[in-house]
Amino acid sequence: MRCVPPAAGAVIVADRFDAGVRMGDTIDKDMIAVPIGPQLRMAIAASPAYFKAHPIPKAPRDLLQHNCINMRMQTAGGLYVWDFERQGQKLNVRVDGQLIFNTSPSMVDSALAGLGIASLPEEEFAPHIEEGRLVRVLEDWCPSFPGYYLYYPSRRQPSHAFSLVVSALRLSTSPRPDWRY
């Protein structure tokens, strides 16, 4: 999710890549970053059956009393730490649980099966929440955060083709005027 190894910019420079794609808040400061998607928001959810047997968490620390479905970060190797924020108060919770996955479909399936509470970007849960198969909790603790960005070194002269791609991305993500009268 948002846990990444440091100095990713150094990797694309050293390996002579034109660019990389990362979450906006994880990009090195000496890189140029262009948004390639919308802001994201995490959702915390479990099945109605899970919440029949367990109390609904009212605050992030309540998750420590629950069976949470963890994600192993493929690049960093560690478990994802659940990030929360409300009214300027930031909180990181290292949850515990019997299940650990490295892909989101397995986490969604486990939450649907009533095996615990999962944390994923809200679009992963959206159809299941809309249809009542999952219940979202702690929504007021889950603010939006920068989505995916294309990033590239500021000290390298890009090719003309790469510059055209970056220009197209900038145009596609910039606000458009409303020409309707």
Would you say residue 119 has pLDDT above 80? yes
pTM: 0.74
Residues 114 and 99 occupy one common structural domain: yes
Residue of 13 and 180 predicted with greater confidence? 13
Tokens coding 156: 């390298």
Residues 115 and 54 occupy one common structural domain: yes
Residues 121 and 157 occupy one common structural domain: no
89 lies in some domain: yes
Residues 48 and 127 occupy one common structural domain: yes
Number of structural domains (the chain) is: 2
Residues 73 and 157 occupy one common structural domain: no
17 lies in some domain: yes
Domain that holds residue 155: 8-38+147-173
Residues 19 and 49 occupy one common structural domain: no
Beta bridge partners of 149: 22, 35
- Strands in the chain per DSSP E: 20-23, 31-35, 40-46, 68-71, 82-86, 89-93, 99-101, 117-121, 135-137, 144-145, 148-153
Would you say residue 180 has pLDDT above 60? no
> What does the mean pLDDT of the chain come to?
86
Would you say residue 61 has pLDDT above 90? yes
What tens digit of pLDDT does each residue of 140-176 get? 999 998 888 988 887 777 788 888 888 888 887 665 4
**pLDDT above 70: percentage of residues in the chain:** 85
Tokens 């910019």 map to which residue? 9
pLDDT at 175: 56
